Structure 1
Amino acid sequence: MPKNWKTYKLTDLGTIARGKSKHRPRDAAHLYGGKYPFIQTGDVKASNHRLKIHKQTYSEAGLAQSKLWAKGTMCITIAANIAETAILEYPACFPDSIIGFVADPEISDIDFVDYLMQYFKKQIQTHSIGSVQENINLATFQRIEFLVPPLPEQHAIASILSAIDDKIENNLAMNKTLEDMAMALYKHWFVDFGPFQEGKFIDSELGLIPEGWEVKSLDEEFSITIGRTPPRKEPNWFSKISGIKWISIKDMGNSGTYIFNSSEYLTEEAIKKKNVPVIPSETVILSFKLTVGRVAITTEEMASNEAIAHLKRNKHTRIPNTYSYLYLKCFDYNSLASTSSIATAVNSKTIKGMKIIVPENHINESFDKEVLPLFNQIKNNSHETETLTQLRDTLLPKLISGEVRLKEFEEEITAAL
């Protein structure tokens, strides 16, 4: 045990109590739609340390049968999404599927306790009960013990980890703004045809378009390949730590505009023997099975499963990646489904036959010149975020467990921030 560190239960570090809510939204609509934030387990899971966004609100009637927790309260989910945590950035209500923890400032730092919970999440989840929807309860936190440093060291650890998380959040927010700017420009040029209103328009299968432009199918502009999955019963084709990054739809959901990581890898042998298409760097990819319409751009040679299409550029391609990415992001995929479910209606043939407006070459070049700096900034921010995330994930368990002290990472932290 590190010097001066002590063992505590969560109940020793502050007060905990379950949230209050007697009704679900479908049971009592009059309780909802007011000014009081109502936090749900999904909101906690979607947050990154600090909870800043919510989807539901309570009315005065809703508040009357609940409780308004203060800013700085840590939410802990105990059902559905188990042991997810986040600290309230504003007063809010939450149901009994969430526990509220209020730190004793004489003993504990709320940010440190949140990181402590992140570190012990898997251990806490092993205490879950229930066969259909697992859950934990208040008694769980009266059993589990944590090793905790003196308050000044808690402050120091929490300060560094929070600074990293804040930088990550700022990068994500900046990237959203940058992509929104690029999308607004795309719509102005290629949906509203704002800069071309003075010119002549012609009929096309997608409606009126400027003269000189064309409508093509995707496979006329790109070499489209579809990913592949080697036999799962042969685990030698897969790896969790090295090889060619093998993208899933979930990986695309976890990425931003650019995709850097995958949860699984394929071996070089799998790529060769199972004829898995290799996706070049800077290739736009699109999910078209189960979850349709996720879009990303690769950052190195990668591979994917069969639910993802790759729009590989070739000598005939006139459309820049910036255009095709934004086109696919705002495409109405429901238009591909006709009367059946989009999840079952869309296949590789459908994707290859999707229609796209192809502007004249000088228009493509001008648009790319306008938005490429935005995309480059997004990529740089994303790369920095990847570095910061790796640093945080390395530091958190080592600092929280007392394995290392902050001084050992001082230079690396300073360089990153």
Structure 2
Amino acid sequence: MGSRGKVRSEEVQSNNWRTSRLEELATVIDSRHKTPKYSEDGLPMVRVVDVKAGPIDLSNAVKVTQEVYEDFSKGRDPEIGDLIISRVGSYGNICYVKTNEKFCLGQNTAFIVPKINWRFLYYQLLSPQVRTQIESLVVGAVQKTISLKNIKSLEIATPSKSEQKAIAHILGTLDDKIELNRRMNETLEAMAQALFKSWFVDFDPVKAKMEGRQPEGMDAETAALFPDKLVESELGLIPEGWGVGQIGNEVTVVGGSTPSTKKPGYWDGGTVHWTTPKDLSGSSDKIIIETARKITEEGLQKIHSGLLPVDTVLLSSRAPVGYLALAKVPIAINQGYIGMKCEKALSPEYVLQWCVSVMDKILQRASGTTFAEISKKNFKPIAVVVPFAQLIKIYSKIVSDIYSKIENNLRENSELSNVRDTLLPELISGKLNVSDWQ
């Protein structure tokens, strides 16, 4: 924000604000009310599950053929500044389009095409005033739904165009920085995974030395630590001199539990981080610094694994299997996790990326009739390559620096989100009036 504008507090909304129905401020376009046929390749289709605050993320979107796309797109490609709202189940979620990539909407979603500043309207739809309206308009006991008619009827307060632009800039600058940090973290995580895969899965440095080449991207001292031969093992070919163990023998595997929610003394005023897999859902960052709930010291006594130390590796063992994180705060876990304390040769960074590399094997060992779950008993025998200790140390030093950057970005994003969430209701209601904006 800097010196480009200033904000002054007002007791009431400015006189130049007016209230209009959403259908006066935007064109609302419903999706097709039918189930599409997905395909292996093609164009992305956005479903309710894909609609989350921020720019639309198409990385996990399903694909449809050109024919299906043309049907569901209704002859219109999305444009930058379009908003998307979910209508059924996870109703009322809002995201926006910020790229020119083509996609179509699946059922139970709708486009909101703004006639006013699109980013201002996006923040208005996230405001407490509008969220309250949405909650009052939802129908359905089992599958909660907001109709297209009710979406169009939402009452939206708007100031002048210049004030819309200023408010959108203030909040948008914060969100843009959050998004930049998120993308940086994805790149950093990819770097950590790529290095692990090269050194400890594909054995690229070993293969280079076998061919008489100097391993790429490392100094001579590090290259000297890699052998120049592959030998047979129960896992297939591995570098000569490296071992193979069971993960349960190489780390301390623990589980968790949930203190009785009927005992207020276990929860009220709690300060101890306590996590469920839900804390990791929707995040690509393999770091956890905050939990939705906290327990008391009395509650902690009811968890047999106790308070796990910083850098414990967490693997969600059910609902669903496969979320991963390094704990960057002392933490207690519920029964939906396998915790790995790295107290021997294998470092936390190595174990985390090893879990990524063998996730197919982990999932294959999960079982269950209601939902998939992997038990500690089935997890512990999974085979793990154990490289020379010095190589693990070098890898971990490189990757711990990467995860420090990821952690710093996460902490900054937490602060930025708090600032945004504090400013949003004040700005969007007119209680904070933006003036002198260039």
Verify same fold: TM over 0.5. yes
Alpha-carbon distance in 2 for matches of 1:330, 1:225: 21
Higher relative contact order (CA 8 A, sep 6+): 2
1:26-45 alignment to 2 at 5 Å?
26=37, 38-45=45-52
| Partner residue in 2 for 1:371 | 399
| Partner residue in 2 for 1:203 | 232
Alpha-carbon distance in 2 for matches of 1:52, 1:253: 15
Counterpart among 161, 176, 179 of residue 171 in structure 2: 161
Counterpart among 63, 78, 85 of residue 56 in structure 1: 63
Alpha-carbon distance in 2 for matches of 1:388, 1:339: 38
Unaligned runs of 5+ in 2: 1-11, 211-227
Q: What secondary structure, in the 3-state scheme, does the structure 2 residue paired with 1:56 have?
A: strand
Shift of 1:33: 5.9
| Partner residue in 1 for 2:124 | 116
Shift of 1:56: 3.1
Alpha-carbon distance in 2 for matches of 1:64, 1:344: 36
Counterpart among 325, 333, 345 of residue 304 in structure 1: 333
Alpha-carbon distance in 2 for matches of 1:190, 1:170: 30
Specify whether residues 93 and 350 from structure 1 end up closer, same or farther in structure 2 by C-alpha distance, changes over 3 A only: closer
1:231-246 alignment to 2 at 5 Å?
231-239=260-268, 242-246=270-274
> Could you report, residue by residue, the CA deviation over 1:22-60 in whole angstroms, capped at 9, with x for unpaired residues?
64223xx79x9655x543322223xx4322524334525
Q: What secondary structure, in the 3-state scheme, does the structure 1 residue paired with 2:299 have?
A: helix
| Partner residue in 1 for 2:4 | none
Unaligned runs of 5+ in 1: 411-417
Q: What secondary structure, in the 3-state scheme, does the structure 1 residue paired with 2:411 have?
A: helix
Q: Is the 8 A contact 1:216 1:358 kept in 2?
A: yes
> Could you report, residue by residue, the CA deviation over 1:146-167 in whole angstroms, capped at 9, with x for unpaired residues?
3333222211111121111111
Specify whether residues 137 and 58 from structure 1 end up closer, same or farther in structure 2 by C-alpha distance, changes over 3 A only: farther
Amino acid of the residue matched to residue 36 of structure 2? P
| Partner residue in 2 for 1:278 | 307
| Partner residue in 2 for 1:248 | 276
> Could you report, residue by residue, the CA deviation over 1:211-243 in whole angstroms, capped at 9, with x for unpaired residues?
22212222322222212211233243225x751
Q: What secondary structure, in the 3-state scheme, does the structure 1 residue paired with 2:385 have?
A: strand
Q: What secondary structure, in the 3-state scheme, does the structure 1 residue paired with 2:105 have?
A: coil
Q: Is the 8 A contact 1:39 1:56 kept in 2?
A: no
Shift of 1:186: 0.7
Alpha-carbon distance in 2 for matches of 1:290, 1:276: 20
| Partner residue in 1 for 2:22 | 10
Shift of 1:143: 4.1
Alpha-carbon distance in 2 for matches of 1:179, 1:319: 19
Shift of 1:182: 1.5
Pairwise CA RMSD: 2.8
1:44-83 alignment to 2 at 5 Å?
44-45=51-52, 48-53=53-58, 54-57=61-64, 59-60=66-67, 62-63=69-70, 66-71=74-79, 72-83=81-92
Taking structure 2 as the reference length, the TM-score comes to: 0.81
Q: Is the 8 A contact 1:67 1:93 kept in 2?
A: no
Q: Is the 8 A contact 1:293 1:333 kept in 2?
A: no
Specify whether residues 80 and 324 from structure 1 end up closer, same or farther in structure 2 by C-alpha distance, changes over 3 A only: same
| Partner residue in 2 for 1:414 | none
Alpha-carbon distance in 1 for matches of 2:366, 2:49: 31
Taking structure 1 as the reference length, the TM-score comes to: 0.85
Specify whether residues 287 and 348 from structure 1 end up closer, same or farther in structure 2 by C-alpha distance, changes over 3 A only: same
Q: What secondary structure, in the 3-state scheme, does the structure 2 residue paired with 1:50 have?
A: coil
| Partner residue in 2 for 1:25 | 36
| Partner residue in 2 for 1:415 | none
Shift of 1:208: 2.6
Alignment size in residue pairs: 395
Alpha-carbon distance in 1 for matches of 2:363, 2:139: 43
Identity of aligned residues (%): 30
